[in-house]
Amino acid sequence: QPVLTQPPSASASLGASVTLSCTLSSGYSNYKVDWYQQRPGKGPRFVMRVDSDGIVGSRGDGIPDRFSVLGSGLSRYLTINNIQEEDESDYHCAADHGTGNTFFVVFGGGTKLTVL
């Protein structure tokens, strides 16, 4: 099964840009990854889905176009431009894995983004 690896923390200054990474384990380069934002004390919110070619489908409701995604090999990236205070959140990546009657969703450990 795939393993998704995220750095535990990241930081960026107000108005700057930051790129968060999510790395799939070897052999899963064709997997799509979903990004979720979780503000403090709130439930997760879908941001976007990405594969090795870029965004898949539409972004989540209310997600501004300051958010973008990119995929390359085993890595899936979420970039936030012109960072705002409300972007300070935990960001989780996830991937479906299913063969036959087996299905599950694997989450990365999450990255805590601090806005300086």
Q: Point out which residues bind another protein (CB under 8 A).
A: 34, 36, 38, 42-46, 49, 57-58, 60-61, 92, 94, 101-110
- Cβ-based nearer residue to another protein, 74 or 94: 94
CA nearest neighbour of 38 among 76, 91, 79? 91
- Cβ-based nearer residue to another protein, 14 or 90: 90
- Least separation in angstroms between CB 15 and another protein: 29
Return phi, psi of residue 76, to 5°: -130, 130
CA nearest neighbour of 105 among 18, 39, 46, 21? 46
- Least separation in angstroms between CB 13 and another protein: 26
CA–CA separation, 31 vs 24, rounded Å?
8
- Least separation in angstroms between CB 16 and another protein: 26
Is the CB of residue 5 less than 8 Å from the CB of residue 108? Answer: yes
- Cβ-based nearer residue to another protein, 59 or 70: 59
Is the CB of residue 110 less than 8 Å from the CB of residue 7? Answer: no
- Cβ-based nearer residue to another protein, 36 or 77: 36
